[in-house]
Amino acid sequence: MGTANFVLFGICAFFALFGAVATVAAKRPLRGAVALLANIIALAGLYLTLSAHLLAVIQLLVYAGAVVVLFVFVIMLIGPASEVEGKSEGLAGRALSIAIMTMVTGTIAFAVSDAVGNWYAIADNPAYGTIEAVGAELYSRALVPFEIVSITLLVAIVGAIAVARHRTADEIVQAKAVHAKALEVRAEAEANKEAAAEAAAGAH
Amino acid sequence: MDITLGTFLALGAILFGIGAIGFLVRRNVLVQLMSIELMLNAVNVVLVAVNRYHPENQAGQLFAFFVIAVAAAEAAVGLAIVIGLYRLKKSVASSDADQMRH
For residue A91, what pLDDT is reported? 86
For residue A1, what pLDDT is reported? 67
The answer to the question of residue A139 being in a domain is: no
Is residue A176 very low, low, confident or very high in pLDDT (cuts 50, 70, 90)?
confident
For residue A82, what pLDDT is reported? 87
Is the torsion defined by CA of A51, B70, A16, B83 positive or negative? positive
CB contact under 8 A, A167 and B5: no
Residue range(s) defining the domain that contains residue A63? 1-80
B residues 30-89 near A, CB within 8 Å? 30-31, 33-35, 37-38, 41, 44-45, 48-55, 57-59, 61-62, 64-66, 68-77, 79-84, 86-88
Residue A56 sits in a domain whose CATH number is: 1.20.120.1200
**What residues of chain A lie within 8 A of the CB of B4, using their CB?**
114-117, 119
Given a contact cutoff of 8 angstroms between Cβ atoms, the answer to whether B77 and A71 are in contact is no
Of B28, B58, B13, residue with least CA distance to A17: B13
Query: B5-93 — its CATH code?
Result: 1.10.287.3510
3-state percent helix, strand, coil for chain B, nearest multiple of 5: 75, 0, 20
The answer to the question of residue A94 being in a domain is: no
The answer to the question of residue A9 being in a domain is: yes
pLDDT tens digits, one per residue of A56-81: 999 999 999 999 999 999 999 998 88
The answer to the question of residue A196 being in a domain is: no
For residue A136, what pLDDT is reported? 92
Percentage of the residues of chain A whose pLDDT score is greater than 70: 97
Given a contact cutoff of 8 angstroms between Cβ atoms, the answer to whether B25 and B10 are in contact is no
Question: What domain count does chain A have?
Answer: 1
CB contact under 8 A, B37 and A67: yes
* Domain regions of chain B by residue span: 5-93
Given a contact cutoff of 8 angstroms between Cβ atoms, the answer to whether A67 and A33 are in contact is no
At a CB cut-off of 8 Å and minimum separation 6, what does B46 contact? B8, B9, B12, B13
Is residue A172 very low, low, confident or very high in pLDDT (cuts 50, 70, 90)?
confident
Res B1 pLDDT > 70: no
Q: How far apart are CA A170 and CA A188, in angstroms?
A: 27
Res A142 pLDDT > 70: yes
